[in-house]
């Protein structure tokens, strides 16, 4: 057996034109050790990739399981946080704009509240939208708009603006334009849901949709950035939000920032 395999290996090397056919010959007779080795190496590689992906998704964040996108999403977190936002902002929840991927589901949820009107901006292509979402788009409640450009709304159009995920995909150059523009359309407050460093977002196949990979910035990065951009934290809103959340042991899986608008 050893002899044979040594021979077939030598044939493999010698017969440069048809390395595969001689390899297949060897395989059909007895499995070549070269082939077995290759399969083992491939198996180990797949296992490593699987474990690495798994730990970043499940270890990084338990809540990610069952997320709509398959990977982690702060938009989903906005939906969970709505009752606490309502406690923190009360009356300022009467005219809400949500900006972020999957905005249709947030807008629908907001519209189901009493005394809340809601609109949405979807910053990326919408695929596989359901009938409910198509109807929101048709009515002009949800718009698809590139948030690198000024939003199609007048100043102070909304009492509260909530943005999730979208800012994680912008470089500081664009953030410098987009963040002040979000504050411009907000009359009472701007709430930002940003990913935590280490969280995984968007499969490679989806990167063309988002333009660049998400960059999860630390809270100190964001705070420094808000100071640079002259945006202040609304401490009273933050306090009310955290009080309401802790009463129900709710812990947001994303970083949540409560900012005052410019006016």
Ligand X SMILES: *[C@@H]1O[C@H](CO)[C@@H](O)[C@H](O)[C@H]1NC(C)=O
Query: Which residues of this protein are in contact with ligand X, per CB under 6 A?
Result: 88-89, 92, 172-173, 176, 188-189, 228, 234, 236-237, 240, 260
Tell whether the torsion through CA atoms of 129, 130, 131 and 133 is positive or negative.
Answer: negative
Q: Which is nearer to ligand X, 142 or 163 (CB)?
A: 163
> Up-side HSE of residue 160: CA atoms within 13 Å toward CB?
25
In terms of Cα–Cα distance, which of 170, 183, 159 is closest to 231? 183
Residue 55 burial (CB count, 10 A): 11
* Smallest distance, ligand X to C-beta of residue 84, A: 11
Nearer residue to ligand X within complex by CB, 225 or 250: 225
Residue 184 vs 240, nearer CB to ligand X: 240
Q: How far is the CB of 248 from ligand X (least distance, A)?
A: 18
Provide, rounded to whole angstroms, the least separation between the CB of residue 49 and ligand X: 34
Which one, 150 or 172, has the nearer CB to ligand X?
Answer: 172
Q: Does the CA dihedral 241-116-165-172 come out positive or negative?
A: negative
What is the enclosing helix (H) or strand (E) of 207? helix 207-210
How many Å separate Cα 14 from the centre of its chain?
52
Question: CB 185 → ligand X: shortest distance, Å?
Answer: 14
């Amino acid at each position: 057996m050893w002899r044979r395999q040594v021979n077939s290996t030598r044939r493999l090397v010698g017969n440069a034109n048809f390395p595969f056919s001689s390899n297949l010959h060897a395989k059909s007779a007895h499995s070549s050790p070269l082939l077995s080795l290759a399969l083992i190496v491939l198996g180990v590689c797949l296992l490593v990739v699987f474990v690495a992906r798994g730990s970043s998704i499940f270890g990084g964040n338990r809540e990610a399981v069952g997320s709509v996108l398959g990977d982690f999403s702060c938009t989903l977190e906005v939906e969970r946080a709505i009752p606490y936002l309502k406690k923190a902002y009360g009356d300022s929840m009467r005219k809400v704009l949500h900006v972020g991927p999957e905005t249709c589901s947030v807008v629908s949820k907001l519209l189901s509240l009493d005394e809340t009107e809601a609109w949405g901006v979807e910053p990326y292509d919408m695929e596989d939208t359901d009938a409910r979402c198509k109807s929101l788009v048709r009515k002009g409640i949800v718009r698809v708009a590139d948030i690198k450009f000024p939003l199609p709304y007048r100043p102070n159009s909304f009492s509260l603006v909530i943005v999730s995920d979208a800012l994680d995909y912008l470089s500081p150059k664009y953030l410098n334009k987009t963040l002040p523009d979000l504050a411009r359309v907000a009359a009472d407050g701007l709430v930002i849901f940003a990913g935590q460093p280490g969280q995984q977002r968007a499969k490679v196949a989806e990167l063309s949709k988002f333009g660049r990979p998400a960059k999860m910035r630390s809270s100190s990065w964001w705070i420094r950035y808000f100071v640079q951009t002259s945006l202040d934290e609304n401490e009273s809103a933050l306090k009310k939000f955290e009080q309401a959340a802790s009463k129900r042991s709710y812990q947001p899986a994303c970083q949540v920032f409560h900012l005052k608008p410019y006016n």
